[in-house]
Structure 1
Amino acid sequence: MSVVPAALRLARRNAWRSRGRSALIMVMIGLPVLVITGVLTLTETMSVTPREGLVAEFGLADARLVRIPEGTVIRQQPNGGSWTTGDGDGAAGPELGAAEAAALLGPGTRLVPFSTGVLRLGADRVDALELDLRDPLTRGMRTLSEGRFPAAREVAVTPALGLHPGDLLRPSGAAPLTVVGVVEHPHRPSLREVVGPDLPLAPLDGFWSPGEYGPGWLADTAKPVSWADVPALNRAGLYVSSRAAVPDPSRAPVRDVQHTVGLGTMAVMVVLETVLLAGPAFAVGLRRRRRELAGIAAQGGSAGHLRTIVLADGLILGGTATFVATVLGIGAGVLGAPFAARWGGQVGPPEVPWPQVLGVAALGLTAGIVAALVPAVQAARQDTATVLAGRASPVADRPGRPLAGTALVLAGLGATVVARRQAGPVWVWASAVLVMIGLVALTPWLVHFTGRVATRLRLPLRMSVRDAVRHRSRTVSAVAAVMAVTATVVAMGIGAHSESTDRRNAYTSARPTGMLAIWGGSMSDATWSRIRAETGRRLPGVPLAAGHQVKDAQGRRYALRYTVRWNGTRTRRTVAVGDQDLLRLLQGRHDPQAAAALASGKAVVFDAAAVRNGRLALRASSTSGPARRIEVPAVPAAPADEHQGGALLPRALVEQAGFSTAERQLYAMHRLPADSTLWRDLHKVTPRVTVASEEGYRNMPDPDLWGWLGGALILVVGGTLAVTRLAAADMRPERAAMAAIGAPSGTLRMVVAGQALYVSGLGALVGLAAGTVTGAALSRPMTTHGVGDPATIAIPWPFVIAVVVGPPVLATMAALITRTGPPLVRRLP
């Protein structure tokens, strides 16, 4: 019989004979494969391409047209995602009607009106779709799960709202609506939405977005609406989504060098971590098979045969684990997508990214074989006579190769210094892999060096550390695995927290938090007077400060701006024009010096860096006139908020520069209640009005940090317990001797728990050092925005402490409750 089939048969029989150890190895190999495969499948399933989302967007229609606000210019590009807007001036043209829109699309066009926005329900706001779902053209946009589609004065709701047919919906400022059905979005199960043919939509406070909100039509056309038709529709004031103009998803993205390096880095890290986790189990399995392998060698088996037999273990167990993990990962990704989407996000048809999944499976199989490589070499070198005589093989006291490991670590640190100045974090991760490989090479020396402290420990811990040092082939792999996991999670945590801190520091606004702003566009003085009167009526007792619009002699609107570096980023500010009342609101107090400067005809600037030699350089720009550059006298002043910038100019200073001013802005320190109808009331006067509230920076916690902590707990605690159980099996003679001389069960438990504490504690400390260096390096490409921009380095101390302290503590506590009864050991005479 050939050696390979025989080796595979022996590996299969040995795996079945030692089912516990085999299951443990398969878990160590298959866990990373399962997690990565599940994430890849989940991400692909939850990713809805533009073509997959067509039915939910406009049913069976050929195109979707959204009317853009007056005074806005839009230009769509063939890439499907590029559009620009600009403010228009002059009188508004006539609003485009259904007949004009149908004429633009050609004869035979049928239009179904719709509008998307929000509905106010007391203090709550929900998405709303004003559409008659009974029309056949809307088929597939929403799926009916209960009741029927709504008619006039009726609505259907999504399950997330918790309503049922027969309930009443009470919009703010409108008559109640009867719920007659429950509908579901094809891709967004968590959507909170109300659908009906006539809804009292609340105008949105904020910027217009063509992909989300606005009135328009679903169009059934005689011919497809292509990109050649889009410019004319844009000029008519329509944003277009068309089946014929959807980007082609079959075009493969261009893979650049960074993408290739990133994939290679991920592959190396996956293989390294899997090998380190599974290596100790193969090492212990080799010691249990010493007599079997020695018998084969005594019957004529060569060193190559022994290596093949041990490598066959890695092939059988790695292949089985990879296959099972791949199947489970695909199933978990497909089945978990609908549940994950209920917490937010969307879900599409089940999809498996086969190239990536098969690549991960290949990595898992490779990792299983590589993990068995060192035990295979040891099997080929064992002394047959010593093993068959039942004597323990002498342990060579080789504390590793510190010079090679040190050289790799220094090379990795040097590469990290260079990589942190490159664009993108992938180069830093590539350098971190070099550091980790160097630390893995240094781990035997670290285990040998730290073993010297065993003489100062109590008996249980002293036995644990000495046993760990004696069996370095098992200990080193486990310590290195904990180190790699800890370093990766700490680095990702520091990088993500630094990026979040940088975003918070980079936040800036021209108005203090809590300020209400009302802006008027191109309108007559009489219309603005009506806006001001309506505002005063709706906000009784609220002090209002006026702001002014800037125009040239031809009546063209101009914006006055300056550029300043804020938190290292070049930021463009638009200045306001007003008086002492507005200055008091912007500063949150009365500042005599700033008020005197404003009264004397100087600009008050809240960005001190923008004032040079007592002057502020401004650029006056217009969408319909030539740009101008002017300089005005200015003084710096302190704003109301630390993140606030901008400037205030007196009217006299603007008029001296050759411009005219007209009041078109109102400001107040006032927070609108959730059910306020101010926007709607002002919009009834004229649609050329905007209402905005400054809410300040909203600090959104990053759930990924604690997700990484959970992953670290699973890998570190699981790997440590696996090694601890293997160490407990290896320590049976010592434990039996301790039990024979009267050691209590608590002492035996402390010996086992000491292994877990030593392995996880040493790995966590080394990983903390490596992860801190990598995280600090990651922070630069993740937080810099240009040449000369300083990096933001922020360490999430609670997260880092939880990562470094939590897994060792949990692993030790779990080891303490491990069953450690005195084993029965056969003693040789």
Structure 2
Amino acid sequence: MIALPIVGVSAADLTLRSAELSTEQKLERVLGAADAKLTTGWVTGPLYQQPDGSDYAPVGGYENYHASSRTEDPNVLAAALPAGARSLKDSIGHAKVHTTHGLLDTQLRELDTHSPLVKGLLTLDRGRLPEKAGEVIATQSFLTDSGYFVGSTVTPRGSTASYKVVGAYELPDALKLSQLIAVPGSLLEPLEKTLTAAGNPGLRPEHSYLVKVGRDGFTWNMMKETNAKGVLVTSRAVWLDPPADSEVPLYRQESKNAYGSSSSMQATELAILATVVGLAMLEICLLAGPAFAVGARRSRRQLGLVGANGGDRRHIRAIVLSGGLVIGAASAVIGTVIGVALTFGLRPVLEAQIGSRFGDFDIRPLELLGIGLLAVLTGLLAAIAPAVTASRQTVLASLTGRRGVRRASRVLPVIGLVAIGGGVSIALFGTVSQMGSVVVAGGSALAELGIVALTPVLVGLFGRIGRWLPLSPRLALRDAVRNRGRTAPAVAAVLAAVAGTVAIATFQHSDDLQRRHEYVATLPFGTGLAQVTENSGHKEVPAVRQALARELPLAVRADVDRLVVGKPGCDSWSDEPGCGRAEIITPKDQRCPLWEAENGPASFTTEQQRTLRNDWRCEEDRLGVAVSTVVADEKLLTVLGVGDPAAAAALKSGKAVSFDKKIVKDGKVTLRLVTDNKAASALAEKNQDPPGEDKVLAAYQAPATAKGYGLHLVLPPATAKTAGLTTAPFGSYFTLDGKASSEQRQKLDGTLDTMGVETEVSIEEGYKANNSLVMLALAVFAGLVTIGAAGIATGLAQADAEADLKTLAAVGAPPRVRRTLSGFQCGVVALMGVVLGSAAGILPAVGLRLTARREAQSLYETGIAQGHIGKSELAPYVPISVPWETLGGLLVLVPLGAALLAALVTKSSGALARRAAG
């Protein structure tokens, strides 16, 4: 009981310390043998960064930075390299690679692995490093997932060249990453050229440079000079000797707290850690205490002899306490040794689980000694109550084996009631305080301790239902009530385990309901969209539609086309010359003033912003699709679940159907054919409409209940043709007759892949909870702890009541009575603990959810007050819901399982013994 938690704690300490890398080890995995690494961020122009490079911001802050004005210069990195420095280029892109199973998303990398700067970045497991074009090395994760091996040949999708795998390696910090490395210029560059020539999107690889400079390394002043050129730096010298906060421009521009963990978060972590350690010690004491008590009672004759030979109460207390001390010390040694051996033996499994290699097998003697002292202290604390009880027995009672009658404490229940009331009050106060989660946790822990203090009284109340039970459960319940000294701690231990499980399960179940409410469906449930990317061409779309109908159980298929402006092969947002788009022109009086003003929302006062946020013109669509204007017939309305007969009639009569009331005025909608995307984008930056030919079409505005799921306008095919609009096949919306199986989806993906066209197929399957596995793990954990605690209590009851069991056998009780009695003894303890624990676990979950509700409501009201959001935005929904299935499983299955397990492991008959001399 004591050694087992020590095994877990010591193993956890070793795992965490070994997985925690030193600064040098971190730098080796990031920089190799280089002094610094130069990269570019998503912002361009001068920037400020943290000394460790973990975060950055543009000079002047994001308020004065316009992301749309960023320009990517591929030579900015090379221009930022220090003069005279040795450098090594590292390029990374992503593509799909053909495997034995199909296609696998893989990271492709070009790096000179023979350079001394690479030392520490990767570890070669077997084979050799690539030496020429056509050779690659692969991570073990890629080989496992792809079904390949060293010596196999791999081909990236769209590539005309194949590559031989000449070695296997691992990235110490990313064991689960699928990656291929080739010599510079042999993989990414040829593949990008091939894809671009075929009209497919390029890889757009990310580049960085490993840099080796002079003896002093890459200094802080050099970093600031490089930041001025728009380049981020990770420097070994600065990591090891960071500058003072006053010397960091980023912290002068913005508070350092915005880039680090706040003191409240640290306090929360410490509170959680203290609570976990405290509850662990409490649970051990609750389980070990009765064991010491039973052991003291079984040794009462020896203790009585000590008293008969002149020993006083101090000696008896010292004997029992010494037993606790010895057991605690032995548990510390055994538990620590097993924990160390277990961690060492499971090191490969642990590394694979966390996806990273340990730095070292870091054994810290002082920490292990502290854990061992914790075991000694726990053993000592668990023996205090039995020692005091044993010392109070008279010598005559000890020698004759009479237990005497002890009155239940009248003070303990009062203390328990006060603790429950105080804990509930503190937890409720925490829901409105700044340190919400910490106060709620503290109040909940206090209330739980109060319930523990009330456990003996509550066990007595449970005993009153025994009069209506059959013989075996009645005997088990009365035995539990009569021997509350061992029953109450076991029930309290089960209570503690179940309370934590119920609290976490309730919190996660409520959070799951909130996420389900906030989930935004991209299409109606069971509806899908197959779309061919614009730059893949449109000739293959009919074949894609046929594959869709052949491989999936379709109910309705609505084929849609897109509008084309400019030369063939251009997508709607390409900046290439001759590429244009069809753009919906919103009437000026129906545009949101917040975005039309020169300085955007900053052009208005807070009150004006608040008013405009509630204007219907400023409502924003939460969904977006690649093409917002499509050409289709009324089947599309059926697939989208639009039940408005007038909308279908409008499409049949040649009218366009709009799902955005801002674009329709006087029953008309305006489409502008923009011939130059690049020029149009430049004008959009100045809030100016692009030039082009306007097409004014009759339109029907669908009711607000009709959802377009990102679509703004649907044009009938005949109207598009009459207006002289050029169209091209785009894809199909569809509804399924049932559900597509995994095999059907795989066949469809394989068929589409053979066509060599970029096709995205998505099916709306609704919100999927991601915590079902967590719930199951929590239920299993609570069950194991509950069965273990109840089993310990049953074992103690059998040891304590051995004489009664022998008496039952002597008077002729059937053999099955012994087994049935043990089962009910275990089940009674488990049931009482689960019932009380379920009630105790609700409080912290309710408190934490109320805290989350207050914070969400505060953010919502602040956003409205500052004009950042409008009242039309969804108000925060933070429900509190009990997971009745999990709770039902705990209340029914766990006690039942504990009872059956105890009955199975108990012998039906025991050996008869001679009656002890009176």
The TM-score normalised by the length of structure 1 is 0.76
User: Which sits farther off after the overlay, 308-317 or 78-87?
Assistant: 78-87
Please give the secondary structure, in 1, of the residue aligned with 2:92.
strand
User: Which region of structure 1 is more displaced relative to structure 2, 440-449 or 158-167?
Assistant: 158-167
Deviation at 1:337, TM superposition (A): 4.3
Determine the C-alpha separation between the residues in 1 that align with 2:170 and 2:889. Answer: 41
Indicate yes or no: 2:822 matched with 1:752. Answer: yes
Q: How far does residue 343 in structure 1 lie from its aligned partner after superposition? A: 3.6
1:199 to 178, 181, 187: 187
2:355 alignment partner, one of 342, 345, 349: 345
Whether the aligned pair in 1 keeps the contact of 2:313 and 2:392 (CA below 8 Å) is yes
In the TM superposition, 1:212-223 aligns within 5 A as 214-222=206-214
Provide the residue aligned with 2:51 in structure 1: 78
Partner of 1:112: 89
C-alpha deviation, 1:249, in angstroms: 10
Change (3 A) 1:755 1:622: farther
The corresponding residue for 2:3 is: 30
| Preserved CA contact (<8 Å) 1:443 1:480 | yes
> 1:583: Cα distance to partner?
13
Of 65-74 and 347-356, more deviation after overlay is shown by 65-74
The one-letter amino acid of 1:420's match is T
Q: Which amino acid aligns with 2:210?
A: L
Query: In the alignment, is the contact (CA less than 8 A) between 2:787 and 2:898 conserved in 1?
Result: yes
Per the alignment, residue 439 of structure 1 pairs with 451
Q: How many residues align?
A: 740
CA deviation vs aligned residue, 1:451-486 (integer Å, no higher than 9, x gap)? 122232222222222211111101111111111111
Which deviates the most, 101-110 or 346-355?
346-355
Alpha-carbon distance in 1 for matches of 2:857, 2:227: 35
- Describe the superposition over 1:330-387 as per-residue Cα deviations: whole angstroms up to 9, x where unpaired: 4434543431332453232233577765554444333222211111110121011122
Choose from 465, 468, 486 the match for 2:480: 468
Cα distance 1:403–1:68, how it changes in 2: closer, same or farther (>3 A)? closer
Report what 1:453 is aligned to: 465
**C-alpha distance 91-797 of structure 1, shift in aligned 2 (>3 A):** closer
Residues 610-643 of structure 1: per-residue CA shift (max 9 Å, x gap): xxxxxxxxxxx99996899xxxxx99724659xx
Distance 1:153 1:756, change over 3 A: same
Structure 1's 494 and 89: CA in aligned 2 closer, same or farther, altered over 3 A? Answer: closer
Between 115-124 and 447-456, report the one with greater CA deviation.
Answer: 115-124
- Mapped to 2, the partners of 1:192 and 1:757 lie a distance apart of 50
Amino acid across the alignment from 1:30: A
Secondary structure of 2:56's counterpart equals coil
Seen in structure 2, the aligned counterparts of structure 1 residues 384 and 321 have a Cα distance that, compared at 3 Å, is: same
Q: Aligned equivalents of 2:316 and 2:396: distance in 1?
A: 15
Could you say if the C-alpha distance between residues 476 and 259 of structure 1 is closer, same or farther in structure 2, counting changes exceeding 3 Å?
A: same
Residues of 2 paired with 1:65 and 1:353: CA distance? 36
Q: Which residue of 1 aligns with 2:900?
A: 813
Q: Is the 8 A contact 2:53 2:232 kept in 1?
A: no
The one-letter code matched in structure 1 to 2:136 is V
Q: Are the structure 2 counterparts of residues 327 and 430 from structure 1 closer, same or farther at C-alpha, using a change threshold of 3 Å?
A: farther
State the one-letter code of the partner of 2:177: L
Q: In the superposition, relative to structure 1, how do residues 503 and 220 fare at CA in structure 2: closer, same or farther (>3 Å)?
A: farther
CA offset at residue 706 of structure 1? 3.4
Residue 746 (structure 2) pairs with residue 736 (structure 1): no
Residue in structure 2 matched with residue 261 of structure 1 by the alignment: 271
Cα distance in 2 for residues equivalent to 1:623 and 1:363: 70
Alignment RMSD (CA, Å) = 4.9
Amino acid at match of 2:235: S
Q: Secondary structure at the match of 1:111?
A: strand
Matched AA of 2:33: L
Which position in structure 2 is the counterpart of 1:172? Answer: 157
For 2:669, the equivalent position in structure 1 comes to: none
Q: Is the Cα contact below 8 Å between 1:604 and 1:647 reproduced in 2?
A: no
Q: Which amino acid is the alignment partner of residue 64 of structure 1?
A: K
CA–CA separation in structure 2 for the residues paired with 1:318 and 1:250: 48
Report the Cα distance in structure 2 between the residues aligned to 1:759 and 1:72, rounded to whole angstroms.
68
* 2-structure distance, mates of 1:767, 1:428: 17
Name the residue aligned to 1:368: 379
Choose the corresponding residue for 1:297, options 286, 299, 307: 307
SS of residue in 1 equivalent to 2:783:
helix
Q: Distance in 1 between matches of 2:42 and 2:281?
A: 55
- Assess, with a 3 A threshold, how the Cα gap between structure 1 residues 792 and 390 changes in structure 2: closer, same or farther: closer
**Is structure 2 residue 128 aligned with structure 1 residue 143?**
no
1:127/1:823 Cα in 2 relative to 1: closer, same or farther (>3 Å)?
farther
Cα distance between partner residues in 2 of 1:447 and 1:182: 63
Partners of 1:448 and 1:67 in 2: CA distance = 70
1:353-364 pair list within 5 angstroms = 360-364=371-375
1:407-426 equivalence runs, <5 A: 407-422=418-433, 424-426=436-438
For 1:650 and 1:817, the matched residues in 2 are separated by 69
In the alignment, is the contact (CA less than 8 A) between 1:71 and 1:87 conserved in 2? Answer: no
Q: What is the aligned partner in structure 2 of residue 61 from structure 1?
A: 34
2:169 is matched by which residue type in structure 1?
Answer: V
Q: CA deviation at 1:186?
A: 2.0
Of 86-95 and 407-416, the range deviating more from structure 2: 86-95
2:640 is matched with: 588
State the 1:435 CA deviation.
Answer: 1.4
Query: CA separation of 1:440/1:47 partners in 2, compared to 1, >3 Å: closer, same or farther?
Result: same
Query: Is residue 2:742 matched to residue 1:762?
Result: no
- Alignment-derived partner of residue 637 in structure 1: 704
CA distance in 1, matches of 2:732, 2:599: 24
The answer on whether the counterparts of 2:130 and 2:137 sit within 8 Å (CA) in structure 1 is yes
Q: Match of 1:489, SS?
A: helix
Aligned residue for 1:209? none
For 2:174, what is the secondary structure of its paired residue? coil
Question: Could you say what secondary structure the match of 2:319 adopts?
Answer: helix
2:167 match: 181
CA shift in 2, pair 1:344/1:713, >3 Å: same
Q: Does the CA-based 8 Å contact 1:166-1:180 persist in structure 2? A: yes
| Residue of structure 1 in register with 2:912 after alignment | 824
Aligned 8 A contact 2:35 2:211 in 1: yes
Q: Counterpart of 2:509? A: 497
Q: Do the aligned partners of residues 221 and 39 (structure 1) sit closer, same or farther apart at CA in structure 2, a change above 3 Å counting?
A: same
Unaligned runs of 5+ in 2: 59-64, 196-203, 245-259, 546-558, 564-571, 573-581, 589-595, 602-608, 664-680, 689-700, 716-726, 735-744, 861-875
Structure 2 counterpart of 1:543: 560
Does residue 430 in structure 1 map to residue 442 in structure 2?
A: yes
Look up the match of 1:618: none
TM-score, normalised with respect to structure 2: 0.69
Asked whether the 8 Å contact 2:560–2:630 carries over to 1, the reply is no
Displacement of 1:786 in angstroms is 4.3
Q: Distance in 2 between matches of 1:731 and 1:240?
A: 72
Comparing 413-422 with 307-316, which one deviates more in the overlay?
A: 413-422
Which residue of 1 is the match for residue 137 of structure 2?
Answer: 156
Distance 1:501 1:402, change over 3 A: same
One-letter amino acid of the counterpart of residue 477, structure 1: P
Distance verdict in 2 for CA 1:227–1:417, change over 3 Å: same
- Identical aligned pairs, as a percentage? 28
- Work out the CA distance in 1 between the residues paired with 2:280 and 2:14: 17
What SS is found at the alignment partner of 1:793? Answer: coil
Q: Structure 2: how far apart are the matches of 1:581 and 1:419?
A: 56
SS in 2 for 1:170: strand
What letter matches 1:416 in structure 2?
A: A
Task: Compute the displacement of 1:767 (Å).
Answer: 0.6
Question: What letter is aligned with 2:499?
Answer: A
Counterpart CA distance in 2 for 1:697 and 1:236 is 45
Q: Partner residue of 2:856? A: 785
Partner residue in 2 for 1:243: 236
Structure 1 gaps, min length 5: 1-27, 205-211, 519-530, 607-620, 629-633, 652-662, 683-689
Relative distance call for 1:344 and 1:146 in structure 2 (3 A) is same
Note if contact 1:41-1:352 (Cα within 8 Å) is conserved in structure 2. Answer: yes
Counterpart CA distance in 1 for 2:597 and 2:67 is: 10
SS state at 2:785 partner: helix
SS at match of 1:60: coil
- Residues 508 and 771 of structure 2 are in contact (CA less than 8 Å); yes or no, is this contact kept in structure 1? no
- For residues 120 and 175 of structure 2, the distance between their equivalents in structure 1, rounded to whole angstroms, comes to 14
